[in-house]
Amino acid sequence: MNHLFRRTKSCIRHEIDPDEIFLDSKNLPDFDVHQFEGRMEKPISMTSIVIMGSAFALVLLVLLGKAWSLQAKDGAEYAAISENNILRETVIFAERGAVFDRNGVKLAWNAINEKDPDFARRVYTKDPGFGHVLGYIRYPAKDSKGFYYRTDYEGVAGVEKHWDSLLQGSHGLKILQKNALGEVESESVIRPAKDGENLSLSIDASVQKKLYESIAGLAERVGFSGGGGMIMDIETGETIALTSYPEYKSSVMTDGGDSDIIADYLKSSRKPFLNRVTGGLYTPGSIVKPLVAIAALEEGIIDPEKQILSTGSISIQNPYDKTRKTTFSDWKAHGLVDMRKAIAVSSNVYFYEVGGGFEDQKGLGIGKLAAYFQRFGLGSKSETGFFSGPGGTVPTPEWKEKVFPGDPWRIGDTYFTSIGQYGFQVTPLQMLRAVAAIANGGLYIEPSILKSSTSTPAAGKDVRIDPGHLEIAREGMRLAAQSGTASGLNVPYVDVAAKTGTAELGVSKAFVNSWVTGFFPYRSPKYAFIVMMEHGPRANVYGATFVMRELLDWMNATGSEYLK
């Protein structure tokens, strides 16, 4: 047994010899293990092959898609860009002409454009009152790729629009040579730019600013919804001041950056885009009375010395009810008035009678009234460029039939038309031109916004009125400024002739348009003026005359040349 045990034990010892079991651990063949010698190779799995193949296929598809886009889809466009990257035509923007007032004060000019240095930025005076005169522009514009689809400045309103071709100039052209990186290597001017011409307006900037401030100040204090005013040379037609309140700012509309302000402009019920002087239509009221007086003298229906009694109203028999009479009121009982005094105190009764007739006083009748109003330009549409505007309405039986079919023309309609009421609608510019014709001896002139190189009479038409009859109207207007309804303009430093008007609005007549028009100096007329304050409370005692008085006082205090 012992023998067997020993033998078994000996066999076991030889079979599990450590040197035989751990022969590899000694790396007897001296493999370079860092180069993976002596390692058993294992085949790549199918999953790895699929993943790697998919990745390579995806990259290949992307590359093929990009190649198709570059060559097939957008090939022509990129080819053009490639060519343009070599030689490219570029606009040389011309400088837009500057705008000055009659004394050389800058009103619109150019400055460096930080947003787009290719062209200049338009700059406007910061003084108020010039929005409607100057207007605004649109800048050149680029597409998303940086190419200009609009290369011109575009005048949209005012002077910028009506003299756009003069201010615009002509752009130049240059060729740029670029390298593959888009860097400019050289440039060559093919056609130089020609800057636009400068423009000198007849406007006096200081007078315009003061007139606007006076109109705006009164409107804000008293409650008028707006207003406008104009001063014109009655010999040349040159406009010294032309402003409308409220207005838009030219800089805001041109730059277009402040969308909130522009939105307020667009939705405002006070219509800041409306130039009230040239484009607004208003009931004129009593400012038409000098024209009625001239018509009565021309037709020989009354002697200017004849007096008519105003007890505060006249009454006529109601043709539909013999027991009743229709009363037409005056704003005051004036007593006996002749033509000059009737103009001065603005007697309604006097003009009812010479306009429509009453008892033994013959009237003009609506046909002749309308003819003379139209002779002085009332109700006539203006087509003269910058000053173009609507025609308005001079009431006639034909007009009434269109507006109120089946309602016949009555004597009361003639009465109200003769004092500037009923359906009467005019622009302030129309009334100013009519008054200028009274002041200059009967020449209906065309207004101008440009400063003339020489002071020559403007072209106009003769309204064919007896100079003596015009003189009587002027005397009545002078009396109005001395002691009548326009006595607020009775100033010691210049003789003014004027006529006021208060046009009642609506059925309740709670609101009025307040007017004043006239000319100065009285003996040698040079300038005609008009101020209209729109839709203010009837109870208010301040109106258009207050604005004009404030302007005249300012002119006197500053030594204005216009009062000399």
- The verdict on whether omega for the bond into residue 405 sits within 30 degrees of 0, i.e. cis, is no
DSSP string for 136-192: EEE--EE-TTS-EEE-S-EEEEHHHHHTHHHHH-B-EEEEEEE-TTS-EEEEEEEE-
Q: Say if residue 322 is exposed, middle or buried (CB neighbours under 10 Å; 0-12, 13-18, 19+).
A: exposed
Q: What is the pTM of this model?
A: 0.82
pLDDT digits over 114-126, tens only? Answer: 888 889 999 999 9
Residue 33 has pLDDT above 60, yes or no: no
Residue 459 has pLDDT above 80, yes or no: no
Amino acid at 370: A
- The verdict on whether omega for the bond into residue 492 sits within 30 degrees of 0, i.e. cis, is no
pLDDT average, residue stretch 178-196? 75
* Dihedrals phi, psi of 189, to nearest 5 degrees: -80, 120
Domains of the chain: 87-200 (3.90.1310.10), 205-259+277-563 (3.40.710.10)
The number of beta carbons lying within 10 Å of the beta carbon of residue 445 is: 22
Q: What is the pLDDT of residue 21?
A: 52
Residue 237 has pLDDT above 80, yes or no: yes
Contacts of 108 (CB under 8 A, 6+ apart): 98, 99, 122, 123, 124, 125, 134, 159, 160, 250
- Is 529 in contact with 519 (CB distance < 8 Å)? yes
Q: Say if residue 303 is exposed, middle or buried (CB neighbours under 10 Å; 0-12, 13-18, 19+).
A: exposed
Tell me how far apart the alpha carbons of residues 491 and 562 are, in angstroms, rounded to a whole number: 15
The alpha helices in 315-403, defined as continuous H runs, are 339-345, 348-356, 365-375, 397-403
Q: Directed axis angle between helix 365-375 and helix 411-418, to 10°?
A: 30
Q: What is the pLDDT of residue 52?
A: 80
Q: Say if residue 242 is exposed, middle or buried (CB neighbours under 10 Å; 0-12, 13-18, 19+).
A: buried
Please report which confidence band the pLDDT of residue 87 belongs to, taking 50, 70 and 90 as the band edges.
low
- Is 238 in contact with 139 (CB distance < 8 Å)? no
The Cα-based distances of 484 to 476, 481, 523, 525 in angstroms read 9, 6, 19, 20
Amino acid at 82: S
Q: What is the pLDDT of residue 135?
A: 97
Tell me how far apart the alpha carbons of residues 458 and 61 are, in angstroms, rounded to a whole number: 79
Q: Say if residue 138 is exposed, middle or buried (CB neighbours under 10 Å; 0-12, 13-18, 19+).
A: middle
Q: What is the DSSP letter of 72?
A: I
Residue 452 has pLDDT above 90, yes or no: no
* Dihedrals phi, psi of 187, to nearest 5 degrees: -145, 150
Residue 495 has pLDDT above 60, yes or no: yes
Read off the tokens for 227: 């207003």
The number of beta carbons lying within 10 Å of the beta carbon of residue 517 is: 30
Q: What end-to-end distance do the CA atoms of the chain give, in Å?
A: 159
Residue 219 has pLDDT above 90, yes or no: yes
Identify the sign of the CA torsion 332, 295, 360, 358: negative
Residue 284 has pLDDT above 90, yes or no: yes
Read off the tokens for 449: 């916004």
Average pLDDT over the chain, rounded to an integer: 88
pLDDT average, residue stretch 273-293? 97
pLDDT average, residue stretch 150-175? 92
| CA 106 to chain centroid | 19
* Percentage of the chain exceeding pLDDT 70: 86
Contacts of 299 (CB under 8 A, 6+ apart): 364, 368
pLDDT average, residue stretch 38-56? 73
